[in-house]
Structure 1
Amino acid sequence: MPMLIIENLRKAFPGMSARQVLSDVSLRAGPGDYVAIMGESGSGKSTLLNLIAGLDTPDSGRVLIDGQDLLSLDDAARTLQRRARMGFVFQAFHLLPHLTIERNVALPLALNGVDERTSRERVEELLTAVGLIDRRSEFPLKLSGGEMQRVAVARALVHKPTLVLADEPTGNLDAESAAEVLQLLRTQLKRDNAIGILVTHSTVAAATTDRMYRLAAGTLHEQSVQRAKV
């Protein structure tokens, strides 16, 4: 079963204005857990997300995904871990404009060497789930912002990752589109029993998760939140 364990992460940025960004961050999440991390600008949310993804290394502490300590791996092995076990949803969508919607969603499967038939079936399943199967042959620039983010969610989940990291996924969307994307993301995470980590400034977005933490003074503080019905 999927498991994310973060133990006593510490991270400081060196230099003339050196400061401790993360001082003692620990978190555990299991199958189907959906967790929000909130905080002021500069509080270290993006730094924490990069550490969880293995894009940066902490000064001390551990990040384990399914029992695998990311710090025990070299750069190439961490890249393979991200490719196989993680999905990403960004504020700016990051779809490839020269690829059709279908090929954008299929990209993680191609990178993981999934055969064409299995890939086609899985892409059809996800595009149907996000309501865009009839537009599979179109290019991203033909879509609205909300539709592009739905494609991004499909791409993040198509290879059935253990862990999905969402960085301000509704930051560029209007309220109606944001609500649709948040509902879709939660539904698909729960369906696949994946772990979701949502970094957001939005209390509305955070209220769609199971647990909410605020990152302040380098540590996580669990917050009471009334989960939104989505």
Structure 2
Amino acid sequence: MRPDGTPVLTVRDLAKSVPGGRQLFSNLRLDAGAGEIVAIVGESGVGKSTLLNILAGLDAGDAGTVLVDGINLGALGEAASTKLRRERIGFVFQAFHILPYLTLRQNVALPLALISAERGTVDARAEAMLAGVGLEGRGSSYARDLSGGELQRVAIARALVHRPALILADEPTGNLDPDTADVVLNLLRRSVREEGAAAVIVTHSQATAAVADRVLRLTATGLEPHAGR
């Protein structure tokens, strides 16, 4: 919760179907407070990635509300929604979305550039984040020189660099070996705690889910406590 007791993320009665009418989920409710990590598990095709896209304002639910820092995403126009994502949300995509024509430093610094951060802090912050994910000294490299696991680490550094209020991560350790995954998860956990952010992680990995404060299972009727936790 924020100092005033409000969650960073509030979801109420969210529903989503896919073309053809199949219901992915309905009646979905979720609160995520400052300093809290929530892991979401579930069968393939149940809508976990779709849910993250809705929480980021990249997609819209069929019904229900999503509030980030008290702001109703459904009430925002396109420009305001883009501004909120840039300033308050960090997203780790499964597909990475690392820009091949930028250096790793430039890729990580992109969220800072988009919010017009002071130039003197941009490169230093980007280099610190690269070091935090085990890529110290690689800032001048390009995406073509990296493995899939290294690209994933760059994506995680980029999602955290601007100290967002809400971190959304889709299989953030899917391409990482166990040791590197531990480093990245520790960085994520530390960032959430220190910055008072909230994080929602979609994962199939038990080790990744283990860092969460709560593990929930997504079903057609919403979110329920995972039996393993």
Query: What TM-score do you get using the length of structure 2 for normalisation?
Result: 0.90
- Give the aligned partner of residue 58 of structure 1: 61
- Shift in CA distance, 85/50, structure 1 to aligned 2, threshold 3 Å: same
Worse overlay, 27-36 or 133-142: 133-142
| Alpha-carbon displacement from aligned partner over 1:4-44 (angstroms, at most 9, x marks no partner) | 100111122343xx122121100001111101001101111
Distance 1:9 1:96 in 2: 33
State the TM-score, normalizing by the size of structure 1.
0.89
Q: How does 1:98-177 map to 2 (within 5 A)?
A: 98-177=101-180
Match of 2:8 among 3, 23, 39: 3
Aligned with 1:214 (options 214, 217, 222): 217
SS for the counterpart of 1:81 is helix
Partner of 1:182: 185
Distance between the aligned counterparts of 1:109 and 1:49, measured in 2? Answer: 22
Distance 2:13 2:152 in 1: 33
Contact 1:91/1:170 (<8 A) preserved: no
Contact 1:31–1:195 (8 Å) recurs in 2: yes
Task: Identify the residue that residue 193 of structure 1 maps to in structure 2.
Answer: 196
> 2:98, 2:143 within 8 Å by CA — same for their partners in 1?
yes
**Aligned counterpart, 1:88:** 91
Residue matched to 2:42: 39
Following the alignment from structure 1 to structure 2, what is the Cα–Cα distance between the partners of residues 32 and 95? 27
How many residues are matched?
A: 224
Cα 1:63–1:143, aligned 2, differ >3 Å: closer, same or farther?
A: same
SS at match of 2:28: strand
Q: 1:146, 1:173 within 8 Å by CA — same for their partners in 2?
A: yes
Shift of 1:91: 2.4
1:163-188 per-position Cα deviation (integer Å, ceiling 9, x unaligned) = 11100122233334333332332232
How far residue 133 of structure 1 moved from its aligned partner, in angstroms, is: 3.0
- Partner of 2:44, secondary structure, is coil
- Cα distance, 1:143–1:188 mapped onto 2, change above 3 Å: farther
Q: Distance in 1 between matches of 2:144 and 2:196?
A: 31
Please list every run of at least 4 consecutive aligned residues from structure 1 whose deviation after the TM superposition is greater than 6 angstroms.
none
User: C-alpha displacement at 1:225, in angstroms?
Assistant: 4.6
Which stretches in structure 2 are left out of the alignment for 5+ residues? Answer: none
Q: Which amino acid counterpart does residue 36 of structure 1 have in structure 2?
A: A
Indicate if the aligned counterparts of 1:105 and 1:151 stay in contact, CA closer than 8 A.
yes
Partner Cα distance (1:148, 1:57) in 2: 28
CA distance in 2 between partners of 1:124 and 1:78 (Å): 28
Equivalent pair of 2:8/2:197 in contact (CA under 8 Å): no
